[in-house]
């Protein structure tokens, strides 16, 4: 099996291949996909609990969540490999639930090792066309086009066991796209790959998807992947969709505490609710975002970059640790009351804050997310 | 919305009906599989039934008091014990060693252990009788030694399957990093995790010893299978009863092992018990 | 352990040959100690398997009276009634390997797709383990009691007008023996092909379906080709097993059909023409050679299968 260094080395040709190739045959105009109220129960667990989602034509929606949240189940229901107990899937407004998987005209890329081992790359890519009774010449031609699109023309005659993980997934992608699918489904396609290869493939998949305009549903547990690739990201937990929004909105305005803490890092600061839409935290009163609880002990959720830090002999915290991240440094501060928080500071400024330095942590007066306190 | 989904669900649940030949849900158990299993069931159970009818149920009661029954059974039992002990003591360390240190030889080892299936016992016994020293030839233990060879394919497959379902390298490295010697690792770490494999290897060996006729008869020892044949000349009913008895006992033993093994595996979180095969832990995604 | 020691030595320097020599000795030494772990096994196999085999090979070429080297044993073993025996044995083994091979594969597939924990699957697998070892007189008896000329099933078939014996069937012919052989060959096939079936990844099935393939198309383009080497290998294994079977054939035919394994046994029993005592060994050697060739193909097929079913 070729090493993943081969992937790194061919990145240039891969990207160039995508950017510089002749304009691809336009895929069919984007298809809208609708998931309505999907429910799926396995014994005692509700894998999906009334999940609904609308995907616009040409959009890439990522489903993000921890294992067991139902994202893969939802994808497999759309693909036709599983049936929902309730609810339906609509493609262009038509219910596809009674349509068998083989006839749904969707391209799917699996997590790993889904290439047929007895066929070389070219035959793998052409398989879907063979099922559609395309002639041998047409198959080879189209397969060749797609392999070029993913930058693997040279590997056309190679067998899966001779290809590296990254190359295999690119062939799998080509195979899924060869049939000009209405919808592209990706089931954690990058999880089994090396970090470096993962980054390159992310770009390639996104570029291809945008060029072809194929509606895409992408499942992942890696939030960086979801945030960097998707038009919209849906965060799932326990079979329910907690929030679906563009990546920036998801990050800046998380709808629930779960989303806030799952996406990016989030600090929890104890606060006291004042009536009238403010909360007192770190000694100051700041406005509260919609949806906050009315009363009771609360925690205020703030991002590391949403706090300011400055050395102060009578400050409210002491630096306990620093993690150098390059341009910024993540400083861990112990606030009075045994609360530990993380603040992102420019590395030049952080240089002076050795562990043990007394500092003052402060909050700008922007509305904050408030959640009931964890006991 | 609700009526449509109900209809759709209903149609889905009825699978292949309604002109969706290509849409048969893989979750439903298609007819042809039951047909195959039915034919197989008939083929295997019918002769048993016919033999039982012929022999008569009461034959089962009296078979135990026939002359020579117990000595023959006892001989086979002793052979089974000795064979099992030697096989496990020999094959387990070897298999572990090859898996860990000589992975290149795995294929060769597999090939060698397959040989006894295809080397005719009738040929083997000829050679063995020729080269063994007189003292050994006179005792039944020669048979035991050769049964180890005969049982190797099955025992090795069971042990190998068990080893492949463990992360052998990681376990042994963890164990030795904590200070355990080779033997301790084998005894305290590996063997407990190989319990099912060892049990299934044992039962396979027992099944072999209680079914092996060729070498025993040509070596002129009256083991249980040989006794069955000899007795057949006198009383067919009894020997049928005896052979079915042996068959059923071994089958029950195996089922027992699987049930106990599954319960144990479930407790330790290991999941499924698989005899003779290495379970693939492929999941269909998270 | 990867050897990471590299010593940059100036070519032609005095140190050069010395370093290489030491390294070679050390490596060889390390290699030998590594093999030490499999010594017990190797010794056992040699004593229990190899040496008897060598004894047979040697004996096959020995004149029983003078001890001199001779080809006469081999000559007799490959002509006349013994040649017929070899031919019959091969035909029987082909019958008793291909048919149970297909049937066993179907059964294995039928239970393989059942859920892991299902009772059905466990019952079939354990039954296979037991029946694969069942043979000889008890087995012969079971079939005589059901398919013999005055037996149960024959009687049933007569009742519905099918007289199989009139149509030429007999339990004591090659086809009859093959029918009985299936009783332990089919379970053996189930046992040996299950691991290969478990090597079929569900992702392949789903990918094929997703690309529009129906069940038969999946099997024709993916499942079948991938399984074929394993399947053929297992059939070869069954062939070897059928060829070496003795007790069942003996019990059924009592020597009426010439079969090599029975002929070899008769040499041990002393039913032998003077001067031909070692012909049995020649026959045995021949059998082992045939099987060795079969096994070579088996190994090659398994290697091909392993490449794909990783």
**Cα–Cα dist A81/A73, whole Å:** 9
> Which residues in chain B touch residue A67, judged by CB atoms under 8 angstroms apart?
286
Task: Count Cβ atoms below 10 Å from residue C254 Cβ, excluding itself.
Answer: 11
Task: Count Cβ atoms below 10 Å from residue C65 Cβ, excluding itself.
Answer: 10
Please tell me which of the candidates B51, B145, B251 has its beta carbon nearest to residue C126.
Answer: B251
CA distance B3 to chain C (A): 28
Q: Which of C2, C49, C148 to mutate to test the interface with B (most CBs of B within 10 A)?
A: C49
Q: What pLDDT is recorded for position A12?
A: 39
pLDDT digits (tens, 9 = 90+) for C149-193: 777 777 777 777 777 776 667 777 888 889 899 999 999 899 888
**Cα–Cα dist A281/C262, whole Å:** 94
User: If DSSP codes are grouped into helix, strand and coil, which group holds residue A89?
Assistant: strand
Please tell me which of the candidates C207, C213, C308 has its beta carbon nearest to residue A110.
Answer: C207
User: If DSSP codes are grouped into helix, strand and coil, which group holds residue A271?
Assistant: strand
Q: Which chains touch A (3 or more CB pairs under 8 A)?
A: B, C
Contact B118 C291 (CB under 8 A): yes
Question: C32, exposed or middle or buried, with CB in 10 Å at 0-12, 13-18, 19+?
Answer: exposed
Q: Which of A111, A114, A236, A238 to mutate to test the interface with B (most CBs of B within 10 A)?
A: A111
DSSP of B154-180: HHHHHHHHHHHTS-HHHHHHHHHHTT-
Contact A14, A166 (CB under 8 A): no
> Which residues in chain C touch residue A184, judged by CB atoms under 8 angstroms apart?
none
Which tokens hold the place of C40?
């017990």
> Which residues in chain C touch residue A118, judged by CB atoms under 8 angstroms apart?
222, 225-226, 308
Chain B, 211 to 250: residues with Cβ < 8 Å from chain C are: 211-214, 217-218, 225, 228-229, 232, 236, 239-240, 243-244, 247, 250
User: What are the CA-CA distances from residue A119 to residues A156, A291, C34, C195 (Å)?
Assistant: 10, 55, 39, 22
> Which residues in chain B touch residue A97, judged by CB atoms under 8 angstroms apart?
5, 8-9, 12
Q: Which of C115, C199, C205, C211 to mutate to test the interface with A (most CBs of A within 10 A)?
A: C211
Please tell me which of the candidates B126, B203, B212 has its beta carbon nearest to residue C56.
Answer: B126
Ranges of chain C whose pLDDT falls below 70: 1-32, 34, 115-118, 166-168, 309-310
Q: What pLDDT is recorded for position B266?
A: 65
Residue reference for tokens 């993980």: A165
Radius of gyration of chain B (CA): 24
CA distance B211 to chain C (A): 6
Contact A188 B4 (CB under 8 A): no
> Which residues in chain A touch residue C208, judged by CB atoms under 8 angstroms apart?
116, 127
CA distance B177 to chain A (A): 28
| Stretch (H or E) spanning A310 | strand A308-311
Contact C52 B127 (CB under 8 A): yes
**Cα–Cα dist C217/A152, whole Å:** 27
Please tell me which of the candidates A100, A111, A219 has its beta carbon nearest to residue B20.
Answer: A100
Please tell me which of the candidates A102, A105, A172 has its beta carbon nearest to residue C209.
Answer: A102
The HSE-up count of residue C197 (CA atoms within 13 Å, CB side) is 20
Chain C, 169 to 228: residues with Cβ < 8 Å from chain A are: 201, 203-204, 206-214, 217, 221-222, 225-226
Chain A, 70 to 109: residues with Cβ < 8 Å from chain B are: 71-72, 75-76, 81, 83, 85-88, 95, 97-100, 102-103
Q: What pLDDT is recorded for position B8?
A: 27
Chain C, 208 to 247: residues with Cβ < 8 Å from chain B are: 214-215, 237, 240-241, 243-247
User: If DSSP codes are grouped into helix, strand and coil, which group holds residue C289?
Assistant: helix
> Which residues in chain C touch residue B24, judged by CB atoms under 8 angstroms apart?
215
> Which residues in chain B touch residue A87, judged by CB atoms under 8 angstroms apart?
5
* DSSP state at residue C49: I
Q: Which chains touch C (3 or more CB pairs under 8 A)?
A: A, B
Q: What pLDDT is recorded for position C230?
A: 86
Q: State whether residue A330 sits within 8 Å of chain B by CB.
A: no
Which tokens hold the place of A118?
């007895």
User: What are the CA-CA distances from residue C210 to residues A1, A2, A72, C78 (Å)?
Assistant: 26, 28, 15, 57
Please tell me which of the candidates C203, C211, C308 has its beta carbon nearest to residue A127.
Answer: C211
Q: Which of C210, C216, C221 to mutate to test the interface with A (most CBs of A within 10 A)?
A: C210
Q: State whether residue B4 sits within 8 Å of chain A by CB.
A: yes
Question: C300, exposed or middle or buried, with CB in 10 Å at 0-12, 13-18, 19+?
Answer: middle
Instruction: Look up the ipTM and state it.
Output: 0.71
**Cα–Cα dist A35/A90, whole Å:** 6
CA distance B191 to chain C (A): 18
**Cα–Cα dist B92/B108, whole Å:** 16
For residue A87, which of A69, A104, A101, A73 has the smallest C-alpha distance?
A73
Please tell me which of the candidates C49, C125, C182 has its beta carbon nearest to residue B149.
Answer: C49
> Which residues in chain B touch residue A217, judged by CB atoms under 8 angstroms apart?
none
Q: Count of CB contacts below 8 A, B vs C?
A: 257
CA distance A354 to chain C (A): 41
Q: What pLDDT is recorded for position A26?
A: 42
Ranges of chain B whose pLDDT falls below 70: 1-29, 55-56, 59-60, 63, 118, 232-239, 257, 261-262, 264-286
**Cα–Cα dist A112/B285, whole Å:** 10
Please tell me which of the candidates C209, C222, C309 has its beta carbon nearest to residue A116.
Answer: C222
Q: What pLDDT is recorded for position A23?
A: 41
Q: Which of A131, A173, A177, A185 to mutate to test the interface with C (most CBs of C within 10 A)?
A: A131
Contact B35, C112 (CB under 8 A): no
CA distance A272 to chain C (A): 53
CA distance A97 to chain C (A): 15
Contact A174, A108 (CB under 8 A): no
Contact A260, A369 (CB under 8 A): yes
Contact C55 B131 (CB under 8 A): yes
Please tell me which of the candidates B5, B11, B22 has its beta carbon nearest to residue A87.
Answer: B5
**Cα–Cα dist A354/A342, whole Å:** 14
**Cα–Cα dist A165/A197, whole Å:** 9
Q: What pLDDT is recorded for position A366?
A: 84
Contact C49 B124 (CB under 8 A): yes
Ranges of chain A whose pLDDT falls below 50: 1-27
Please tell me which of the candidates B20, B23, B285 has its beta carbon nearest to residue A187.
Answer: B285
User: If DSSP codes are grouped into helix, strand and coil, which group holds residue A51?
Assistant: strand
pTM of the complete model: 0.74
Interface list for chain A against chain C, based on CB atoms closer than 8 Å: 79-81, 101-108, 110-119, 127-128, 130-132, 161, 172, 175-176, 179
Q: What pLDDT is recorded for position A58?
A: 93
């Amino acid at each position: 099996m070729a090493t993943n260094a081969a992937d790194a080395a061919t990145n240039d040709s891969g990207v160039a291949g995508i950017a510089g190739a002749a304009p691809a045959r336009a895929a069919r105009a984007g298809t809208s996909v609708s998931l309505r109220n999907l429910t799926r129960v396995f014994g005692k667990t509700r894998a999906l609990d009334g999940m609904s989602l609308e995907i616009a034509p040409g959009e890439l929606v990522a489903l993000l969540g921890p294992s067991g949240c139902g994202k893969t189940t939802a994808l497999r229901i759309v693909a036709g490999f599983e049936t929902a107990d309730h609810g339906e899937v609509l493609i262009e407004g038509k219910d596809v639930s009674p349509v068998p998987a083989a006839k749904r005209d969707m391209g799917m890329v699996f997590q790993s090792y889904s290439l047929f081992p007895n066929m070389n790359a070219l035959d793998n890519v052409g398989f879907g066309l063979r099922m559609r009774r395309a002639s041998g010449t047409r198959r080879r031609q189209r397969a060749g086009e797609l392999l070029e699109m993913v930058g693997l023309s040279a590997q056309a005659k190679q067998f899966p066991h001779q290809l590296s993980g990254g190359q295999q997934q690119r062939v799998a992608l080509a195979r899924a796209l060869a049939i000009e699918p209405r919808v592209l489904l990706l089931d954690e396609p990058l999880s089994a790959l090396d970090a470096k290869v993962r980054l390159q493939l992310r770009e390639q998949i996104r570029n291809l998807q945008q060029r072809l305009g194929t509606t895409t549903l992408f499942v992942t547990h890696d939030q960086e992947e979801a945030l960097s690739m998707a038009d919209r990201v849906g965060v799932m937990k326990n079979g329910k969709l907690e929030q679906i929004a563009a990546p920036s909105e998801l990050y800046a305005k998380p709808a629930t505490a779960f989303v806030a803490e799952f996406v990016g890092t989030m600090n929890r600061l104890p606060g006291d609710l004042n009536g009238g839409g403010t909360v007192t935290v770190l000694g100051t009163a700041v406005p509260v975002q919609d949806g906050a609880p009315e009363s009771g002990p609360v925690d205020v959720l703030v991002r590391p970059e949403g706090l300011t830090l400055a050395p102060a002999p009578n400050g409210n915290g002491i630096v306990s640790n620093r993690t150098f991240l390059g341009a910024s440094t993540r400083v861990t501060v112990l606030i009075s009351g045994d609360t530990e928080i993380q603040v992102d500071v420019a590395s030049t400024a952080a240089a002076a804050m050795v562990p043990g330095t007394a500092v003052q942590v402060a909050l700008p007066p922007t509305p904050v997310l408030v959640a009931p306190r964890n006991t | 919305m609700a009526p449509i989904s109900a209809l759709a669900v209903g149609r889905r649940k009825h699978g292949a009906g309604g002109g969706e030949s290509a849409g048969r849900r893989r979750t439903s158990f298609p007819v042809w599989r039951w047909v195959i299993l039915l034919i197989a069931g008939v083929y295997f159970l019918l002769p048993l039934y016919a033999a039982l009818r012929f022999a008569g149920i009461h034959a089962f009661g009296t078979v135990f008091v026939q002359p020579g029954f117990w000595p023959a059974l006892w001989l086979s039992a002793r052979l089974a014990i000795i064979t099992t002990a030697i096989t496990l003591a020999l094959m387990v360390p070897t298999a572990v060693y090859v898996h860990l240190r000589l992975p290149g030889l795995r294929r060769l080892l597999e090939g060698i252990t397959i040989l006894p299936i295809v080397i005719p016992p009738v040929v083997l016994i000829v050679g063995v009788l020729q080269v063994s020293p007189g003292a050994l030839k006179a005792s039944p233990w020669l048979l035991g030694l050769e049964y180890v060879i005969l049982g190797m394919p099955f025992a090795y497959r069971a042990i190998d399957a068990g080893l492949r379902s463990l992360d052998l390298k990681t376990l042994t490295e963890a164990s030795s990093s904590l200070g355990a010697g080779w033997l301790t690792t084998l005894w305290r770490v590996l063997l407990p995790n190989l319990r099912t494999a060892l049990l299934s290897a044992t039962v396979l060996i027992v099944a072999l010893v209680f079914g092996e006729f060729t070498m025993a008869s040509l070596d002129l020892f009256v083991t249980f299978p040989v006794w069955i044949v000899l007795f057949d000349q006198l009383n067919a009913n009894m020997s049928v009863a005896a052979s079915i008895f042996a068959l059923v006992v071994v089958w029950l033993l195996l089922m027992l092992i699987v049930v106990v093994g599954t319960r144990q595996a479930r407790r330790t979180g290991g999941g499924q018990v698989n005899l003779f095969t290495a379970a693939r832990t492929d999941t269909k995604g998270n | 352990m990867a050897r990471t020691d590299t010593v940059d030595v100036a070519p032609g320097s005095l140190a050069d040959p010395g370093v290489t020599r030491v390294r070679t000795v050390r490596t060889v030494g390390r290699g030998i100690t590594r093999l030490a772990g499999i010594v017990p096994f190797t010794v056992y196999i040699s004593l229990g398997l190899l040496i008897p085999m060598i004894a047979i090979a040697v004996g096959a070429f020995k004149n029983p009276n003078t001890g001199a080297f001779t080809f006469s044993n081999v000559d007799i073993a490959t002509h006349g009634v013994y040649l017929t025996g070899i031919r019959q044995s091969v035909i029987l083994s082909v019958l008793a390997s291909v048919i149970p091979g297909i049937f066993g594969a179907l059964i294995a597939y039928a239970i393989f797709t059942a859920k892991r924990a299902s009772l059905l699957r466990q019952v079939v697998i354990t039954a296979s383990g037991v029946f694969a070892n069942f043979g000889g007189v008890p087995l012969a008896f079971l079939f005589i009691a059901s398919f013999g000329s005055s037996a149960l099933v024959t009687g049933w078939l007569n009742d519905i007008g099918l007289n199989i014996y009139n149509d030429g069937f007999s339990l004591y012919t090659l086809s009859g023996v093959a029918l009985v052989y299936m009783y332990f060959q089919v379970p053996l096939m189930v046992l040996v092909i299950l691991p290969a079936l478990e090597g079929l990844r569900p992702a392949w099935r789903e990918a094929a379906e997703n690309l529009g393939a129906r069940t038969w198309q999946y099997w024709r383009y993916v499942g079948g080709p991938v399984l074929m080497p394993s399947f053929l290998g297992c059939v070869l294994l069954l062939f070897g097993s059928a060829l070496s079977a003795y007790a069942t054939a003996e019990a059924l035919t009592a020597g009426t059909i010439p079969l090599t394994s029975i002929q070899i046994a008769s040499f041990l029993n002393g039913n032998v023409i003077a001067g031909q005592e070692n012909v049995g060994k020649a026959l045995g050697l021949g059998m082992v050679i045939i099987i060795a060739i079969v096994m070579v193909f088996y190994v090659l097929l398994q290697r091909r299968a392993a490449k794909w079913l990783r």
